[in-house]
Amino acid sequence: MTFLFVCTIYFVLPVYWVLVSSTKSTADLFGSFGLWFAHFRLGANLRQLFAADQGIFLRWLANSVLYAGLGAVLATVISAAAGYALAKYSFRGREAIFSVILAGVMVPPTALALPLYLMMSRAGLANSYLSVLLPSMVSPFGAYLARVYAASAVPDELIEAARIDGAGELRIFARVAAPAMTPALVTIGLFTFVGIWNNFFLPLVMLSSQNLYPVTLGLTVWEGQTYRDPSFYQLTVTGAAVSAVLLIAAVIMLQRFWRSGLTRSGLTTGALR
Amino acid sequence: MCIRSRPSRWLAGLMVVLLAAISACSSGSARTPSSSGGVVHLTFWSWVPNIANAVSLFNSAHKNIQVTLDTIPTGSNGGYAKMLDAVKAGNPPCAAQVEYQEIPTFLLQNALVNIKPWVASSQSLFVPWQWNQGVYNGSVYAVPQASGPMALYYRKDVFSRDGIVTPPRTWAQYAQDAAIIHSHAPHAYITTFPVPDSAWYTALAWQAGTKWFGTSGDHWTVNIANAASQRVAGYWYGLVKKGMVKTENDFTSAWYKDLQDGGVVTWISASWGDAILRQNAPNTAGNWAVAPMPQWASSGFAASNWGGSSTAVLRGCPDPQAAAQFAVWLNTNARSINLLVTDGYGWPAVPSVSSIPSVTGNPKVFSFYGGQNINAVFQQADQNINESWGWIPNVQTTYDALDSAFASAANGNGTFASALTSAQRQTVASLSGAGLKVTSGP
Amino acid sequence: MSAAPAVRRRRRSRVPALFLLPFCLLFAAFFVAPIGYAVYQSLFTTQRSGLGLGAAQTVFSGLANYAAALRDAAFTGSMLRVLLFMAVETPVMIIFALLLALALDAASVRFPALFRSAFFAPYGVPGVIASLLWGFIYVPGISPVVQVLGGVGLHPDFLGPQTVLWSIANILTWEFAGYNMLVLTASLKAIPDELYEAAQIDGAGGLRIAWRIKIPLISGALILTTVFTIIGTLQLFAEPLVLRGLTANISDSYTPNLSAYTQAFTDSNYSMAAAEAVILALAALVLSFVFLRLVQRAGGPGAGGPRAGREAGRRRTGGRR
């Protein structure tokens, strides 16, 4: 338990710093002790945050929710289907596909940014919601994880039994396999959600209208302006705090689904042994 | 992928169809500008805070040109990469924010349009050295917007407490004051030498009358390690070695704190530095003053410049004339300039500032300096800047080389002077590596 | 599956393709195509002359960019640096994440979801903010940590030329240990409870269960997280980029990825950037492959979950297991 508490302090400390900092003035941000409150002005900071640029921050939040929410759901479904197929059907080329997926993860995103942008431009999609959403829907890591868990958590016997009962393949996937894979799906959903939310590179390259920006890109724009106008520091930090609080709330909420996943896999293990 | 398995064969086929569809969609026509009913629509990319106000001013004054502003991250935060990508993709914004030192880099990528035919007649509206920042090889590639004339911000109260009656007129006096200040309070330093911010060092060398970069015929010239800039390097190296100045980086949290609590009591900085002092250290209001930069020579006066930005027209813009017209108006119209200067972005590129209210009288700003008209100091500076200064492509390479070499010197390997030699060598190698002709030395 | 009648099997043969279709399409469009383009680009160089103003010529140059990258001392130096970084950081990260996962999985822990959220929270903090924050803890002058350590006579320099790499390692651990923990936890949850019950009946204690049952059964997930950590450390990028603002001890080619970024985004030498990125990707591929082979030779399961691992092991050893 001591170990867990020490680790909690380590992990939470920086988040705590962001929260404390969001209550300070720009001057106190640097002038006061970082881990304790100075003159408390969270209300004023929040008002400033949501009023800046005619309330653009709210728009950025909504965009992030759209990109990350829709992107994560679709990416999870797509990865789950692919991972399940790779784990539970044997066909020629299966291992090859799997290796290519793994290799895709090795390529640094810096090298892909320009080609992706040129392709999107060609297709007339640059600077649109789709230009960020479409690439976000592919998660090689998600497919990898889904395959690994489908292989272990979905018993072949269960699939065969369902087939004998006359269930179609799609139905088996949706009603038998997916529930058994729940912990993995929640994990994939969580990872892709946070990954898309924090992705900075893709929207940076694709988007130029501020109205389409997600929170991270918007905050970067503000952060760049601190060089000439330090009051943007306060906007950036308060914005980061709000963004972090929302994400952490989302993480905690998504974790609830783990429990249902647990009981289901408890049910299926009977068939496993 | 997906090729070896039989069912996937038609996947591959589908892929081909999809890719064909994508390439068929390639419009080829640029996004901007589009004209409808005689009105030209342009897009403008910038990160200048609140420049939107100036753009809407332009739009209300022009019925035949309408400009849409996209606020993008600053150039070094990805803004320039976006612009160059957009040029490659063939659908760039027509007008863009480009800092002076980046113009040759953009030229190397063939990303700017020569706008001389449309702007040449406006040359007399601008401060000559700022105008020249956009001129390469006889062509004009950018309209100057703002500069950063430099002066000495100092803590009047600390100076008088420590018995320093007048701000230092020469660099020698500045060094003496550094010793006095540090001896009165061990935690206090006259300033910091920001090791990883060699743009600042470059500005100091600029003041000393050097010319690092230029062109001579079809050669770029690189002369970083010349005698004058060696002298500047030796001066600062001496102060650092004697422990008279700090080496913490500027624009970091520790430095902001030092400005607030007297850990650093002067800042050799540009006109835009005012906003940073005022907003970061409101508790020191009334204690600051601005004096001209200390001098190397005993007679005459030379100031310097740190930062500076232009409006350029990107290649691929179908109506460069309209874009050039916008660029000139944005940066010469008195009301537009007033909006830009109010927000602390920089010093106007026009010589006459008497019609700019936020320059001539700005009580909110001046009261922070005990009522001093600090802009008079900056105006004098802007008129005494070494005009021949120019830049080279990929100047970041030089900055990075200087950063690393200064850091090694601060860690005890080499001197600031040897850092210049090393940056000279690396810059020449990088330019010739890019296939350019380059001459090392004056 | 072998028991299924032949007719049904043929009908089903189109099914995996349908399940794979959306993924394959998107993967081909947004991974394979841009990678292909990058590789293609890496085979060209831009030729300029004189001042280099105006249009430049792009010519095919074969592997010249690769040769130039490998001759560049700054780039090879950055490769060696991330290799060292990988060798140290990967075990630290995985062991730490494993300890967290096992500690949370122990029956005695109350509110595991709360702890799990706390450990995972840093992953939700954007990298820029995370590095800003750790920068605040590293920079002398205002750092509370430096202040406290100064009180006991220690004067660490977190941003010194020798130390800054390990300060970056700390940020990485902070950001991703919770993420890896979650992968391991999800895997632990797939272990059937009966196994524990059986072990408890046999009188095995918590430590013994962890060592003898849990770790072997999640070895697939452990291998997975290790491979991804190897790749992640080799691709080190955002943290040094942000910390560069605080210290001159991080150059613009401090890591291969940063070097490629500089080539692409400040020097606009896209071909060289592509070549460096391809070299980095190949290095990651080789190292992951070597690691997987080492694990196999040691007799462990291949990359995969408990069951997939065992199946894979059986396949590779021709059923000798």
A8-66 per-position pLDDT tens digit: 999 988 788 888 989 998 888 888 877 788 889 999 999 999 998 889 999 999 999 99
More confident site: C193 or A140: A140
Instruction: Please give the class, per CATH, of domain B150-305+386-440.
Output: alpha beta
Q: CB–CB of A195/A137 below 8 Å? A: no
A45–chain C nearest CA distance, Å: 18
Q: CB–CB of B142/B102 below 8 Å? A: no
Burial letters A75-101, b for 16+ CB under 10 A, else e? bbbbbbbbbbbbbbbebebbeebbebb
Closest residue to C124, CB basis, from A102, A219, A248: A248
Q: Cβ of B253 and A224 within 8 Å?
A: no
CATH 3.40.190.10 boundaries in chain B: 34-148+306-364, 150-305+386-440
Give the tokens for residue A77.
Answer: 């479904």
Q: Which residues in chain B have Cβ-Cβ distances shorter than 8 Å to C249? A: 407, 411
pLDDT of residue C101: 92
Tell me the backbone φ, ψ of residue B388, rounded to 5 degrees.
-85, -5
Closest residue to A106, CB basis, from C27, C190, C281: C281
More confident site: B343 or A179: A179
Give the tokens for residue A126.
Answer: 């640059």
Average pLDDT taken over every residue of chain A:
85
Residue with structure tokens 């750092």?
A: C143
Closest residue to C27, CB basis, from A33, A34, A138: A138
C191–chain B nearest CA distance, Å: 32
The fold of the A54-272 domain, in CATH, is MetI-like fold (1.10.3720)
d(CA B348, CA B364): 19
Which residue from B128, B143, B200 is spatially nearest to B389, judged by alpha carbons? B128
Listing DSSP states for A95-125 in one string gives HHHHHHHHHHHHS-HHHHHHHHHHHHHHTT-
B392-437 per-position pLDDT tens digit: 998 998 998 999 899 889 888 899 999 999 999 999 998 988 889 9
Which residue from B269, B287, B301 is spatially nearest to B153, judged by alpha carbons? B269
Q: Which residues in chain B have Cβ-Cβ distances shorter than 8 Å to C51? A: 136-137, 215, 218-220, 436-437
Q: Which residue of C has its CA nearest to B257?
A: C142
Q: Cβ of B256 and A230 within 8 Å?
A: yes
In total, how many domains does chain C have? 2
Which residue from A85, A230, A206, A202 is spatially nearest to A143, judged by alpha carbons? A85
Tell me the backbone φ, ψ of residue C16, rounded to 5 degrees.
-60, -35
Q: Which residue of B has its CA nearest to C14?
A: B7
Ramachandran bin of B73, using left for φ above 0, alpha for ψ from -120 to 50, beta for the remaining angles: beta
Q: CB–CB of A271/A157 below 8 Å? A: yes
Q: Cβ of C121 and A269 within 8 Å?
A: no
d(CA A189, CA A75): 8
- Work out how many CB contacts closer than 8 A connect A with B: 128
Same domain, C22 and C92: no
Strand B39-46 vs strand B65-71: parallel, antiparallel, or unpaired?
Answer: parallel
More confident site: B439 or B13: B439
d(CA B205, CA B305): 10
Give the tokens for residue A200.
Answer: 């900075």
| B215 touches C at CB < 8 Å | yes
pLDDT bracket for residue B5 (50, 70, 90): very low
- Work out how many CB contacts closer than 8 A connect A with C: 264
| Cβ neighbours of residue B229 closer than 8 Å, sequence gap 6 or more | B205, B208, B210, B212, B420
Query: Which range, of A180-189, B318-327, C197-206, C311-320, averages the lowest pLDDT?
Result: C311-320
Neighbouring chains of B at 3+ CB pairs under 8 Å are A, C
Q: CB–CB of B229/B420 below 8 Å? A: yes
Residues constituting chain B = 442
Q: Which residue of B has its CA nearest to A31?
A: B257
B76-95 per-position pLDDT tens digit: 888 998 999 999 899 999 99
Q: Cβ of B275 and A92 within 8 Å?
A: no
Res C208 pLDDT > 90? no
Sequence-ordered strand ranges (E) for chain C: 44-47, 57-60
| C46 domain residue, yes or no | no
d(CA A241, CA A21): 8
d(CA C214, CA C208): 9
- Collapsing DSSP to helix, strand or coil, A72 comes out as helix
Q: Which residue of B has its CA nearest to A218?
A: B73
Q: Cβ of B71 and A221 within 8 Å?
A: yes
Neighbouring chains of A at 3+ CB pairs under 8 Å are B, C
pLDDT bracket for residue A148 (50, 70, 90): confident
C130-189 per-position pLDDT tens digit: 777 788 788 877 777 787 788 888 888 888 888 999 999 999 999 999 989 988 887 887
| Cβ neighbours of residue B164 closer than 8 Å, sequence gap 6 or more | B177, B180, B181
Which residue from B397, B255, C262 is spatially nearest to A227, judged by alpha carbons? B255
d(CA B376, CA A177): 76
Q: Cβ of B77 and A225 within 8 Å?
A: no
Burial letters B147-185, b for 16+ CB under 10 A, else e? bbbbbbbbbbbbbeebebeebbeebeebbebbeebbeee
pLDDT of residue A182: 85
Q: CB–CB of B295/B152 below 8 Å? A: no
| C48 domain residue, yes or no | no
CATH architecture of B34-148+306-364: 3-Layer(aba) Sandwich (3.40)
Among B2, B23, B76, B85, most A C-beta atoms within 10 A, so best to mutate, is B85
C-alpha separations of B27 from A10, A124, B24 in Å: 53, 7, 8
Segments forming the whole domain that contains residue C282: 66-316
